[in-house]
């Protein structure tokens, strides 16, 4: 066992960090202030292989590991967690389309997804079905050779600005076995979007309802060509999604520590730099220690997923819970170190506090993470 990155992993990490510093960080405050979704910048990440990170190379992806992906998301989030999180969502959809699509679907969809010619949205959550995803009510009813989709999806990242919608709808009876997945393009008649939600954070990406009113799609839009498999598709993406949202908490925490450290050398109080006060030295030490612990949890979970470890879901839940809780705590402490200036938008700390708060809710709330962990522990099947 070792704790160093390979030469290739270090190169991947540095490439993503350079992109974050050059293309994301300089504009992050402006995008947040103006609620601008930088589609042009997001598409530039595809040139660097960040549009289909875990998709096999033979179908146009980068063929990288989940650990590689965590390194990339952590680095991108150093520049802007909102944009990094959207790129993670696009990657989840691209991975699902490549893994579960029929050969014909893969041929039709993957070139556009891996190049980000099509940006993707993941449509599972509904107004009445969040943590209990199997209770979704959207329907897809057979009509000749087509399906007619009706229902509403809630909290959909990128909705209205993206092109490819991976939608889960009920083709059968109640419960998980009645759910199927469909690929629907933005310009499909009957597909519309609610108003842009006014959010606490993540303002650089639009969040809207996706509304289906008699949306007619051909049978070729049924992902995998068979009904009743959608819920399994959705659940298979959760472990990776949880690892990624945890990784998207690491980057901003590292950024916040860097900013807090620099501020401690700039600001003086009572004739001394803040860096000379032991109480703040200890606070910075705790922040750095917590970041390193969270980072190790995320990397461990990603490695478990790559190795198909039977405990990978538990480790992913542990990592997500730990990293998102500590990430939020770290950026909040960095704001505190900045004092009144941290509360001002120009310093960027308050944006990180707002952005990272939702990470404790996404991909399953941290209360649900505790349910996942405790069930595994109590089952007696832990390896």
Query: In the chain, what are the domain boundaries?
Result: 7-114, 120-228, 237-379
Between CA 173 and CA 152 the distance in angstroms is 18
- In this structure, how many other beta carbons lie within 10 angstroms of the beta carbon of residue 219? 12
pLDDT score recorded for residue 74: 98
pLDDT score recorded for residue 165: 98
pLDDT score recorded for residue 353: 98
pLDDT tens digit sequence for 35-89: 999 999 999 999 999 999 999 999 999 999 999 999 999 999 999 999 999 999 9
Confidence of residue 2 (pLDDT cuts 50, 70, 90): confident
* Category of 291 on φ-ψ map: left (φ > 0), alpha (ψ -120 to 50) or beta: alpha
CA distances from 200 to 147, 186, 356 (A): 37, 27, 10
Provide the token pair at 81. Answer: 């967690």
Tell me what percent of the residues of the chain surpass a pLDDT of 90.
93
CA-based end-to-end distance of the chain: 18
Confidence of residue 168 (pLDDT cuts 50, 70, 90): very high
Run of H or E including 18:
helix 7-19
pLDDT score recorded for residue 11: 96
Task: Identify whether the C-beta of residue 185 lies closer than 8 Å to the C-beta of residue 125.
Answer: no
Specify the fold of 7-114: Butyryl-Coa Dehydrogenase, subunit A; domain 1 (1.10.540)
Q: If you average pLDDT over every residue of the chain, what do you get?
A: 96
pLDDT score recorded for residue 383: 58
CA distances from 369 to 65, 322, 364, 373, 382 (A): 23, 10, 7, 6, 16
Between CA 200 and CA 348 the distance in angstroms is 14
Label residue 109 exposed, middle or buried (CB < 10 Å: 0-12, 13-18, 19+): buried
pLDDT score recorded for residue 332: 98
- Of the candidate CATH numbers 2.60.40.3470, 1.20.140.10, 3.40.50.300, 3.40.50.360, the domain formed by 237-379 belongs to 1.20.140.10
Find the catalytic residue in 126, 227, 350, 363. Answer: 363
Task: Identify whether the C-beta of residue 69 lies closer than 8 Å to the C-beta of residue 241.
Answer: no
Task: Identify whether the C-beta of residue 46 lies closer than 8 Å to the C-beta of residue 114.
Answer: yes
pLDDT tens digit sequence for 309-334: 999 999 999 999 999 999 999 999 99
pLDDT tens digit sequence for 232-277: 999 999 999 999 999 999 999 999 999 999 999 999 999 999 999 9
Would the pLDDT of 382 be above 70?
A: no
pLDDT score recorded for residue 371: 96
Would the pLDDT of 300 be above 80?
A: yes
Between CA 99 and CA 297 the distance in angstroms is 26
Query: CATH homologous superfamily for 120-228?
Result: Butyryl-CoA Dehydrogenase, subunit A, domain 2 (2.40.110.10)
Task: Identify whether the C-beta of residue 228 lies closer than 8 Å to the C-beta of residue 55.
Answer: no
Count of H-run helices and E-run strands, the chain:
12, 9
**363 carries an active-site annotation:** yes
Task: Identify whether the C-beta of residue 221 lies closer than 8 Å to the C-beta of residue 296.
Answer: no
């Amino acid at each position: 066992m070792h704790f160093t990155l390979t030469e290739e992993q270090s190169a991947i990490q540095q490439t993503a960090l350079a992109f974050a510093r050059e293309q994301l960080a300089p504009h992050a405050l402006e995008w947040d202030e103006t609620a601008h979704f930088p589609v042009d910048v997001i598409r530039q990440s595809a040139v660097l292989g960040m549009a289909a990170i875990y998709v096999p190379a033979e179908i146009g992806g980068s063929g990288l590991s989940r650990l590689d992906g965590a390194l990339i998301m952590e680095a991108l989030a150093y520049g802007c967690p909102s944009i990094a999180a959207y790129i993670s969502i696009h990657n989840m959809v691209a991975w699902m389309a490549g893994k579960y699509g029929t050969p014909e679907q893969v041929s039709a969809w993957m070139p556009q997804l891996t190049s980000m010619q099509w940006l993707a949205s993941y449509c599972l959550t509904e107004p009445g079905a969040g943590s209990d995803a199997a209770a979704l009510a959207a329907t897809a009813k057979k009509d000749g050779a087509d399906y007619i989709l009706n229902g509403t999806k809630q909290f959909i990242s990128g909705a209205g600005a993206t092109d490819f919608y991976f939608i889960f709808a009920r083709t059968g009876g109640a419960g998980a076995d009645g759910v199927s997945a469909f690929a629907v393009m933005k310009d499909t008649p009957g597909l519309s979007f609610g108003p842009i939600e006014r959010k606490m954070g993540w303002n650089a990406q639009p969040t809207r309802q996706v509304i289906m009113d008699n949306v007619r799609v051909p049978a070729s839009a049924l992902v995998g060509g068979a009904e009743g498999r959608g819920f399994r598709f959705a659940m298979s993406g959760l472990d990776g999604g949880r690892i990624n949202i945890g990784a998207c908490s690491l980057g901003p925490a590292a950024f916040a520590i860097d900013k807090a450290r620099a501020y401690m050398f700039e600001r003086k109080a009572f004739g001394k730099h803040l860096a000379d006060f032991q109480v703040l030295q200890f606070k910075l030490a705790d922040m750095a220690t917590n970041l390193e612990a969270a980072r190790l949890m995320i990397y461990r979970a990603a490695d478990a997923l790559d190795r198909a470890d039977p405990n990978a879901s538990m480790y992913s839940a542990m990592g997500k819970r730990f990293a998102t809780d500590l990430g939020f705590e770290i950026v909040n402490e960095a704001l505190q170190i900045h004092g009144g200036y941290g509360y001002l938008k120009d310093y960027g700390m308050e944006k990180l506090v707002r952005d990272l708060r939702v990470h404790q809710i996404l991909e399953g709330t941290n209360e649900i993470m505790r349910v996942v962990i405790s069930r595994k522990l109590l089952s007696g099947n832990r390896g």
